[in-house]
Amino acid sequence: MKTIKKIEKWAEDRNFFGKDGATPEMQFKKLVEEVGELAKHLVRGQDVKDDIGDIAVVLIIMNRIYYGNREIETQPWFTFGDDVHSLFNNLMYRVGAIAAFLLEEAEEQGNQIDTMFTILSEIAELQNTTLGECIDVAYSNIKDRKGQWVNGAFIKASDIKIKEKPQKDGNKKTYVYEDIEVSASQRIVAWGMIRNICLERGLSAPLMSKIKCV
């Protein structure tokens, strides 16, 4: 799929594969988060194109982190369930296998990513779509996304909560940001990210000393 290459390039441009970029542990947490979103929307009978695509994006990045340029291969000769619920249960089993691999309690689990891609493809077909379409939807949502790395996690610019706070003279110029705690070594990176967002929103730039370190 051409979109897979685009996603790899997108991740590479945002330093997912570089120093201080993505870590296997943080990507696994992201995988669990996205699988949880899929479960929620399946239970509610809602559209899951974006959820399937988001899981695929995480798997694409994990595959690159673990195995370099190895291509993901689906397994169309297998079927992993007769309905959405059995397929989802099988998907969760593979998530557990990757967790065991991270805990060094299992042998290398390279084929789990291929298997999860296959299961996602089967779920997509039962939802009257294709895995390719789902990946395209996910990529269209992230392709222009900006952010920075904070403690091994890619923080979206849209996740930074900044509000205007009136000063004593009544001018709304003071910045307020929330939910950002960084290690001392990443303080400059976080400050630059917050400063740029503030300027985009017409707020005054923050002092680096105001960023909480942990």
- The model's pLDDT over 103-130, given as tens digits with 9 standing for 90+, comes to 775 556 568 889 999 999 999 999 999 9
Neighbours of 108 (CB within 10 A): 9
Do 166 and 138 belong to one domain? no
Q: Report whether 162 contacts 176 (CB < 8 A).
A: yes
Q: Are 161 and 178 in contact (CB under 8 A)?
A: yes
Domain-terminating residue out of 114, 142, 170: 142
Same-domain check for residues 138 and 151? no
Q: pLDDT tens for residues 6-63? A: 999 888 887 788 777 777 888 888 899 899 999 999 999 999 999 999 999 999 998 8
Give the domain range for residue 6.
Answer: 2-142
H/E run at residue 154: strand 153-156
This prediction has a pTM of 0.72
| 138 and 120 within one domain | yes
Does residue 135 share a domain with residue 152? Answer: no
Domain boundary among 127, 142, 157: 142
Residue where one domain finishes, among candidates 142, 170, 185: 142
